[in-house]
Amino acid sequence: MSSKWTESDVPDQSGRLAIVTGANSGLGYETARVLAGAGATVVLAVRNTDKGEAAAAKIRELHPNAQLSVRRLDLSSLDSVRASADQLGAEHPRIDLLINNAGLMYTPSRELTADGFEMQFGTNHLGHFALTGLLLPNLLPVRGSRVVVVSSMAHNIRAAIHFDNLAWEHGYDRIAAYGQSKLANLMFAYELSRKLAAADAETIAVAAHPGMSDTELFRELPFPVSLGFKLTAPLIAQKAADGALPTLRAATDPNAVSGDYYGPAGLGEVKGPPRRVRSSRQSRDEDIAARLWTVSEELTGVSYPV
């Protein structure tokens, strides 16, 4: 493989089944596009199925033989997550890749999910935690299967797991709340990796982050930061297609091992080709991760088969 890992380094994915959450736009769309082009059967798991069908149509224009389907998934509702997992699990007894990509960023005011969780934590972390646990039985028997969790550089920006204030009932701070959710994503990936290894499972768990990528997520940046980003994005941010490369490497690189974390190789991990990177010390705290896992099982009602 080249020293600068690109889309062309994705191995043949023929015969593999990949589920990508939030695949109708941005990083998720680019991830689905590349996987489909490499021969994978790809499920676009999205909240808005009309947008999902439009994204699938765009991919088919590029790859007429692409094997695609669109399924509804609202990560802000555990009922929707369970219904989606039931459908996906029944349709696809064998799952090779589960890519937990979808997310919300910087919701301006404190909002709650259908189950009463703070929206960013509930969607970004708890929704994916529940989905992964419910689908894991379909991954465990599959040799080479992977769970990929998309985190963010924000896991280290004013981020902590506020066990006494997970719903941000006191002093909502959208930047800190987003940081908490992305820190939770990473801790989930690492703890899942440890549990899979302890069970001698065929499945591995890998994490990734896109650096600073010009996607729809940045529409919720606080003003005037949003204005500054729009003006400087061509200089400081990379395109969504490049931002998806760490996810794609985590999902397909034959040399990836469980617990790896991929991000851009450039200065500050803002942009550049994907490589293994190191996350914050806090994200690697096994005691906090174990506590978060227990709390996540209690909040979602989902217990893992490992």
Lookup: tokens for 162: 């506020």
For residue 7, what are the CA distances in angstroms to 4, 41, 60, 268, 302? 10, 17, 18, 22, 35
Q: Is 213 helix (H, G, I), strand (E, B) or coil?
A: strand
Tokens of 74: 């609202």
Active site residue 178: yes
* Per annotation, catalytic residue among 29, 106, 178, 304: 178
Q: Is 126 exposed, middle or buried (0-12, 13-18, 19+ CB in 10 A)?
A: buried
What is the CB neighbour count within 10 angstroms for residue 166?
21
Number of CB atoms found within 10 A of residue 129's CB: 27
Return the sign of the alpha-carbon dihedral for residues 258, 143, 148, 61: positive
How far is Cα 241 from Cα 228, in angstroms, rounded to an integer?
Answer: 22
User: How far apart, in whole angstroms, are the C-alpha atoms of residue 71 and residue 69?
Assistant: 7
Tell me, what amino acid is at 75?
Answer: L
Beta pairing partners, 253: none
Burial of residue 58, with CB atoms counted within 10 A of its CB: 0-12 exposed, 13-18 middle, 19 or more buried: middle
DSSP letter (8 states) at residue 171 = S
Neighbour order of strands in the sheet with 41-46: 67-72, 41-46, 17-21, 97-100, 146-150, 204-208, 261-264, 274-276
Positions marked active-site: 178
